[in-house]
Amino acid sequence: MNMPARAVRVCSGSSNNSTPSSESSSEISDVILYFGIIDILQDYDISKRIEHAYKSLQVDSTSISAVDPKLYSKRFRDFIHRIFVEDK
C-alpha cells in the first residue's frame, strides 16, 4: 500500500536530560515503514486457554500474549492508533 508517512526526530538542545522542552527542535523525515502481523494463524484452543490461565496468575492478564482473539484484536488496534497518530 502506498501510504505517506513521516517521522519526527526530536533533538534536545543539550545532552542534559533536564533541558526544557522549549529548547528542543524537531526534524521531519520521509520514511518507509515495514511491519507484519505474527501469530495470526494460531488457534486460541485449549492449550492457549490454559497458558492464559497460568500466566494470569503471575502477571496482569491483559499484558500477556495468550489472550482471547477479541481482546488481542482490540489491544492491537489500540496500539496502532497510539503509534500512527492521524495528522489533524
Over residues 19-53, the pLDDT tens digits come to 444 445 667 677 777 777 665 667 889 998 999 99
User: What pLDDT is attached to residue 18?
Assistant: 47
In three-state secondary structure terms, 41 is coil
pLDDT: is 1 or 82 the higher one? 82
Closest CA relative to residue 9, chosen from 23, 27, 25? 27
Which grid coordinates are listed for 37? 502481523
Q: Dihedral of the CA atoms 50, 52, 53, 57 (nearest 10)? A: 140
* Per-residue pLDDT, 13: 57
Asked whether the whole model's pTM tops 0.75, one would answer no
Phi-psi domain of 51 (left: phi exceeds 0; alpha: psi -120 through 50; beta: other): alpha
Higher pLDDT, 4 or 67: 67
Closest CA to 37 of 77, 3, 86, 85: 77
